[in-house]
Amino acid sequence: MSRVDDMRKLKEGIIASYDARVATVEEIVNNAQETFGRFRQERQEMSNELKEMSDKLRENLAYHESARLSAFGVLLDEIQTQRIGRKSEVESILSEAEASRLATFNSLLDTILGRRRERKSEVKTTLSEAEASRTENFKVLLNDIQSKQKEREEQVTSFLKVSHNEHQEMANALDKALAKARADRSEAEAARLEEFKVLLNSYKEEIDGMAAMWRNFSKIMQQRRAGVPPEAPPVKEEAVPEVEEEVPVEAAAPAEPAEEEAPPAEEETAPKVEAEVPVEETLPVEEEEAPPVEKEVAPLEEREELQNRMLSIINSRPDGIRLVDIGEELSVAWRSLIPLARNLVESGQVAKVDILYYPAGSGLYLQVEEQEAEEE
C-alpha cells in the first residue's frame, strides 16, 4: 500500500471520528437537559409533599403534647420505683458473691503454695542426680569430638593435596584452550570484518533507496497541500552501484520521521505550503523495529542453509513479508540478512517492492506496483 493511500485513509478516519464525537456530544447534551427537567419537576413535587407532611406533623404534635407529658410522668415514677428495688437486690447479691469468691480464692492459693513447695523439692533432687550424669556424658562427648577432629584434619589435608593437583591440571588445560581460542578468534575476526564491510555497503544502498522514496513522497504531499495537481509518475532511477568505503554505523542509522510531515485532515480546505524536512530526518522507520540479536550467523558455513530458509519463508507469504519479520522468524538480526536477500532478488527467485519481499511466481508484486502507479 502506498503512502498516499495511507494518508487518505488517515484523513477519512479523522473526519469520521470527529463526526461521531459531535453526534455523541449532542445526544449527551439532550439527555442531560431532559434529566435536569425531570429532576426539577420531581424536586418541586417532593418539596410540596414535604411541606404538607410538616404542617400535619406540627398539628399532631401540638394536639398530643399534653397526653404525652402526663403519660411520661407516670412512666418515670414507675421506673424510679423499680430502680430502687433493683438496686437493693443487686447489692445483696454482690455481697454474697464477693464472700464466696474470697473463700474460693484463699482455698486455691493454699493449694498452689503447697504444690509449689512439693515441686521445688522434686526439682532440686532431680538436678542433683542429673548433674553427675551430665558431667560424665560431656567428658565422653569431648573425647569423641577430639578423636573425630584428628581424623577430619587428616582427610582435609589429603583432599587439599588432591585438589591442588587437579587445579594445576585444569590451569594447564585452560592455558592451552585459551591459546587455541585466540588463534581461532583472530581468523574469525578477519572473516567477520569482511562480512561487515559487505553489510555496510548493502545498508547504504537500502538507505539511499528509502531516502529517494521519501523525498518523492514529501514532494507529492507538499503539492497536495498547496493544491497543485499531481505530476506524472517519475521514471524509476537505476540502482546505485556499491560503495567500497566503510560507512559508520551511527551515521547510517535512519532517524524517526518527523510528525509534522503528516498532513492533518482539516487543512485540505486551506492549503498551506510547509518547509521541507531534510530527508535524513524523515526516513520511514519500518525497518527500524529490529528485534534484539538472538544469535550470530556464521559467515561462511550457514549462508546457503539460511538463504534456503529465507526463500521458503518468502514463498509461504504470497502477500509479502518484511525483512524484519523474516529475521524474527529465523531468530537472526535482520541487517545480516540484507546480502542474502539481495542475492535472492538478483537471481530472480523473489521480487521486492518497497520494503516487502514477494515470491517470484505469484505475480502479486506486479499488481502492487500497478496500484501504486495508478494512485500516484
Question: What is the structure's pLDDT at 112?
Answer: 94
259 has pLDDT over 90: no
- DSSP letter at 273? -
In the block, which residue shows the cell 538480526? 333
Hey, where are the domains in the chain? 289-376
Q: DSSP string spanning 75-102? A: HHHHHHHHHHHHHHHHHHHHHHHHHHHH
CATH numeric code, 289-376:
1.10.10.10
Give the rounded percent of residues in the chain with a pLDDT score beyond 70.
76
**pLDDT tens, residue by residue, 62-93:** 777 777 788 888 888 889 888 888 888 898 89
- Residue 265 grid cell: 485532515
**pLDDT tens, residue by residue, 188-222:** 887 788 888 888 888 888 898 898 888 888 888 88
- Residue 233 grid cell: 509518475
**CB under 8 Å, gap of 24 or more: what pairs does 235-244 form?**
237/212, 239/205, 240/205, 240/208, 240/209, 242/201, 242/202, 242/205, 243/201, 243/204, 244/197, 244/201
* Cα-based distances in Å from 258 to 184, 208, 283, 285: 46, 18, 9, 11
